[in-house]
Amino acid sequence: MKRKLNVTMLKLVFASILLIASTSMSLYAAEWKYAMGEGVSDPQGIYATAFKNFIEENSRHKIEIYPVGSLGEETDMMEQTKAGILQFLGQSTGYMGGTIPEMDLFTLPYVMPTDTKQLDYFFKNSKVINEMLPPVFNKHGLELLSIFPEGEMAVTTFEPFHSPEDLKGKKMRVMPGSPILVETYKAFGASPVPMTWGDLIGALKTNMVDGQENPTVWIEAYDLDNLTKVLTYTGHGHFNASASANKEFFDGLGDRDKKLIRQAAAHAHQVILKEAQKLDAYGIGRIVRTNPDYKIVTLTEKERAPFKKAATAVQDSFASKSASNKAFLDQMMADLKEAEAQTK
């Protein structure tokens, strides 16, 4: 009788431990750090806020968002994330090609479309993003969550330009983490100057650089139109951003939290893609309204031809750097062709 009582007691104690363990995991509350290369009201902030809200509405976890500048420059953030100081990273693709060479795919000239419907389809269905990039991010200690568009690249300068000859000797600022951006502006006839965002405003004010490129929503938000004289649409590029997690942190989570993070990323991806349909129109619309004398130039197809010709050498250079780069570029072209066909 006594022995039976002990076995029953043991079963009760074991069941209670299991119950507490399972309950405590759902009650487990962590504070995760999410740093990004933009402010809360910018596209990366829209994504991060949607991600944060989903996590906090569906768990007891908290997300602390660190906008650009609060933990240093955008260039520091990837190392902080890989070191596990940050759990999540929002980073512009133009800062990543130097560390993850395949990411320079997104800065190649005259590859990304400017049509928002094609971009929407591409960023939802691309094999490059959904199948090929995740294992590459893993090799770099990161878990890829999302890549999304922020708007067509527009070039702002002090003087108009209509050809590579007009850009000869012009010091053009490019984001600091992309060998392809340097090659692109060299091919366009200019003298590229890799520079972090934090140094750009001062460099424009002191004529250390003669121009820069960014999407119009960013140009307007940070007053770059009042620091230059002309905005030129060349059609050569698109600004994109990524969201990722520290791989060791992600791998160490239980299935419930891994699923939660994937769902939060999918939700935030939908939110920013919907917003991205409007960003270009919003950006240029505000520039025209608030700065009516600012000169806006759209290069003609004829004027774009020499830039496009120069761009093919940059695309070939990217593909020649490694078999992986070539495979990525081939798949990117196939994905973009599919996006064009599906959105006719």
Q: Whole-number minimum distance, CB 178 to ligand 6CS, in Å?
A: 10
Angle at which helices 323-342 and 301-320 pack, to 10 degrees?
A: 140
- End-to-end Cα, the chain, rounded Å: 80
| Residue 204 touching ligand 6CS (CB under 6 A) | no
The correct pick among 33, 34, 37, 112 for binding ligand 6CS (CB under 6 A) is 37
Stretch that binds ligand 6CS, among 2-10, 214-222, 297-305, 311-319 (CB under 6 A): 214-222
Tokens for 282? 């919003």
d(CA 216, CA 232): 11
When binding is defined by CB under 6 A, the residue of 48, 105, 145, 175 that contacts ligand 6CS is 175
- Options 102, 120, 150, 225; binder of ligand 6CS; rule CB under 6 A: 150
Tell me the residue type at 344: K
- What minimum distance in Å lies between the beta carbon of 240 and ligand 6CS? 10
Q: How far is the CB of 133 from ligand 6CS (least distance, A)?
A: 20
* Residue 92 interacting with ligand 6CS (CB under 6 A): yes
Structure tokens at 102: 């395949």
Q: Which stretch, 158-166, 213-221, 250-258, 273-281, contacts ligand 6CS (CB under 6 A)?
A: 213-221
3-state secondary structure of 99: coil
Among 97-105, 180-188, 211-219, 301-309, which window interacts with ligand 6CS (CB under 6 A)?
A: 211-219
Nearer to ligand 6CS, 156 or 325 (CB): 156
User: Is 64:144 a contact under the CB 8 Å cutoff?
Assistant: no
Q: Does 178 bind ligand 6CS (CB under 6 A)?
A: no
The position carrying tokens 């009650």 is 27
For ligand 6CS, the closer of residues 214 and 234 by Cβ is: 214
Under rule CB under 6 A, residue 239 binds ligand 6CS = yes
Relative to beta strand 211-215, strand 171-174 is parallel
Binding mask 38-57 for ligand 6CS (x = CB under 6 A): x-------------------
Q: How far is residue 154's CA from residue 280's CA, in Å, rounded to a whole number?
A: 10
Q: Which two tokens stand for residue 293?
A: 């004398």
68 Cβ contact list (under 8 Å, min separation 6): 36, 37, 38, 39, 74, 197
Q: How far is the CB of 188 from ligand 6CS (least distance, A)?
A: 17
Distance separating alpha carbons of residues 222 and 226, to the nearest angstrom? 9
Shortest reach from residue 44's CB to ligand 6CS, in Å = 7
Neighbours of 20 (CB within 10 A): 11
Of 211, 222, 234, 102, nearest to 163 by C-alpha is 234
- Other C-beta atoms closer than 10 Å to the C-beta of 305 total 12
Q: Work out which of 66, 106, 148, 218 binds ligand 6CS, going by CB under 6 A.
A: 218
Min dist. Cβ of residue 74 to ligand 6CS (A): 5
Tell me which residues touch ligand 6CS (CB under 6 A).
37-38, 74, 92, 150, 175, 197, 214-215, 218, 239
